[in-house]
Structure 1
Amino acid sequence: MATDYHRGERAVQDRAQLTRQASHSLGGIGDAIPPVAAAFLAAQPMIIIGGVDAAGRIWCSQLTGDPGFLSAPDPYTLTIDARPLAEDPLANLLGEPARVGTIAIEPASRRRMRINGRSTPVPGGLRVLPDQVIGNCPKYIQKRDYRILADRNSGQAPGNRTVARGTALTSAQQRSLRAADTFFVATADELGNTDASHRGGNPGFVEVLSPTVLRWPDYVGNAMFLTLGNLELRPVAGLLVPGWDSGTSLHLSGTTRTLWDHDEVARIPGAQRLVEFTVTDVVEIADAVPLRWSTPQASRFNPPVQDVT
C-alpha cells in the first residue's frame, strides 16, 4: 500500500471507465498527516478500524474516547489512546503488530478522513504509522451529534455487556440492517494492506436478501475504488453497523461479489454497481461503547430508496 493505486483498483477504474477521474483523485492520497487533519483527529470521540484476523477473516470495529484520545504527535504517527474490548473480534489482532485501515468521521460536520498503515500496541492504546492518508468528500454522511454517557461503566464494564455470536443474522439483526442509514466496511488486498470506508444512504439502501445475504448499491464517488479494488483481489470484507442510539456494535465478516449486470443495477436508484455480501460470522456486542448519537439529518446526496420493508 502506497500513494498509488494497486492493480485491483486500476482494474475496477478501467471497467467503470473512470480512469481519468481516478488519476485526478490520486492527488488526495498522501503518506503524512497535515496539521489540519491532526486538529480534526484531536476533536473526534470515535475512530473506525479494520483488520484481518489469523483465520483470514476481515473485521471492522470502533474505538472511542474523550476528544483528544486521537492525536498526531508528528505527521507520520497516529496515536489512539484506546484498545478494543476483550469481546471485540479485533482484540487479538490489535494485541500485536498488524496492518490496519482506519476512518475518522465527524457526522455533525460530515467530514471524514482515512489513515491506513501499520499498527503497534502501546500501553493503553495503539500507534499507527501511516502508509496512506486520504481525505474524503461529505457525500452520503447523515448528520448526527453525540454525547458521552456520564456513567463510564456503561460500555466499559464486562458485566454490562452481552455478546451474541453466530453464522447468520437473527430476525432482530435483519430489522436493524433494513433500518440502517450507515455502515462501515473494511477490506484488504492480497498482502493484507487494509482499508476502512463509510457507506451511507437512506434507510433501506441495504437489502437483506436472506439471513446470510446482504446487498447494497455502490453510489457515485471519487473514482478511487479503494474498497472495490481490494474486493477485486480479495473478495472478503468486514462490516460494522453501529447502534447509534444504543451503543451496540454489530460486526459481520463474510465474502463478497461485485455485480455489474446493467439490468440488475438499473433497478436500484443511484446505483453504479452492487455489492453482494454473504455472511459467515456475526458478533453483536450490546452496550459496546459509551457514545450516543442524535436523530440523523439525512444527506441531500442520498438517492431515493423504493422499498424499505
Structure 2
Amino acid sequence: MYHAGSRTVQDRVGVRRNADHVGRSIGRDIKPVAAAFLGLQPMLVIGAAAPDSGRVWAGALTGTPGFVRATGTRQMSVTGRVPAADPLATALTTVGTPVGTLALDPRTRRRMRLNGRLRPTPGGFAVEADQVFANCPKYLQRRQSYETVGDRTPGTARRSGELSRAQAAFVADADTFFIATVHGDGADASHRGGNPGFVRVASPTELTWRDYPGNAMFLTLGNLAADPRAGLLFADWTTGTTLGLTGEARTEFGPGGERRVRFTVHEALETPHALPLRWSAPEYSPANPQPPG
C-alpha cells in the first residue's frame, strides 16, 4: 500500500500507526457511492509524466456531468481529450501510462482520488484502478455553484521558463492548486488549499508553501521523497485561465513536525480561458491557517 518514500516521511513525522489505520480506506474497487459521485462532476484533474520529456504535469478535463463515469468495479472511463499541444496529450493516448486523477466537488467539499493505468478509448480513455479513496474536506474552499460558459474559447498557450509578474501575482492570490507526483510505476494527483497567500513566490523560478497537517498517509510528500518531479496546476475559477507548472520539489522539515515544500519551476504554461466553467466566489475552509504576514 505504501512505498518506501511514504514510509520514510511517515516515520520522520512519527505517524506510521495513524497512516496504517487511515490506509485501510484505500482499495481498488469503485464503490456505488464513489461511482455516483464521479457521475456528477464537471471536471477531472489528471497528473502524469509526459513520455517524451519525462516532465510531470497536472491538467484538467471538463465536460457535462457523466463525462467521467465508472464503467466497472475497477474502471473509470472519461469522454474527451486534451488539445494536441497539451503536454499531457501523449501520456493520455499511450497504453499503460500511470495516471493519478482527482475528482473534486467544491459545492459539497468532497473529493476522491483514483490512481491507475490508462488505456486509450475511441472517445477518450479509461483508467484501470490501483487505488481508490476519498479525502476529508480539510482546506477545501466551498463554491456554491458553477455555470458553463458556452462561448468561451481557449486562447493561445504561452510557454516560458519562469513566472512573469502577472503569473506570480496569480499564484500569490490563489486559494487552491493541484499537484501531480510520481513514483516508480505509479502517479498521483492531489489538492492543496488555503487562504490567499498560502503559496509564496520566492523568485520567478521558485515557489514555497507550508504542508498543512492532513491524513498522515503522505502520498504526495512520499512520492517527492522518491522522485522530485512534480507538476502544479493553478486555475482562475472565474475566467477559466490555467497556469501549469512543471519542475522539481523538495520537502524541508522543521521543528515540531513543521514542513515546507520548495518547488523549482522548469517550465510554465499559461492558457487563457482554458476551462469553460465559471464558479461562484469561495467560502474559505474554516480549517485554513492564516498565512504569515
TM-score bin, normalised by smaller chain: over 0.9
What SS does the corresponding residue of 1:176 show, helix, strand or coil?
helix
Match for residue 36 of structure 2?
A: 39
What SS does the corresponding residue of 1:59 show, helix, strand or coil?
strand
Task: Calculate the aligned-residue CA RMSD, in Å.
Answer: 1.2
Match for residue 150 of structure 1?
A: 150
Code of the aligned partner of 2:10: Q
Code of the aligned partner of 1:89: P
Report how many aligned residue pairs link the two structures: 290
Distance 1:16 1:140 in 2: 20
Which ranges of 4 or more aligned residues in structure 1 deviate by more than 3 Å? none
| 1:94-147 alpha-carbon deviations (Å, 9 max, x no partner) | 121211000000011000000000111111211110000011000000011211
Q: Do structure 1's residue 225 and structure 2's residue 210 form an aligned pair?
A: no
What SS does the corresponding residue of 1:247 show, helix, strand or coil?
coil
Q: Do structure 1's residue 193 and structure 2's residue 147 form an aligned pair?
A: no
Which of the numbers 59, 62, 65 marks the counterpart of 1:61?
A: 59
1:79-118 to 2 correspondences below 5 Å: 79-97=77-95, 98-118=97-117
Distance 2:106 2:39 in 1: 15
Match for residue 127 of structure 2?
A: 128
Which of the numbers 193, 212, 215 marks the counterpart of 2:208?
A: 215
Unaligned 5+ runs, structure 1: none
1:1-309 to 2 correspondences below 5 Å: 4-54=1-51, 55-97=53-95, 98-144=97-143, 145-151=145-151, 154-155=152-153, 160-189=154-183, 191-262=184-255, 272-307=258-293
What SS does the corresponding residue of 2:238 show, helix, strand or coil?
coil
Distance 1:105 1:85 in 2: 22
TM-score, with length taken from structure 2: 0.97
What SS does the corresponding residue of 2:142 show, helix, strand or coil?
coil
TM-score, with length taken from structure 1: 0.92
Code of the aligned partner of 1:127: A
Deviation at 1:149, TM superposition (A): 1.1
Task: Give the conservation status (yes or no) of the 8 Å contact 1:52–1:192.
Answer: no
Distance 2:87 2:169 in 1: 22
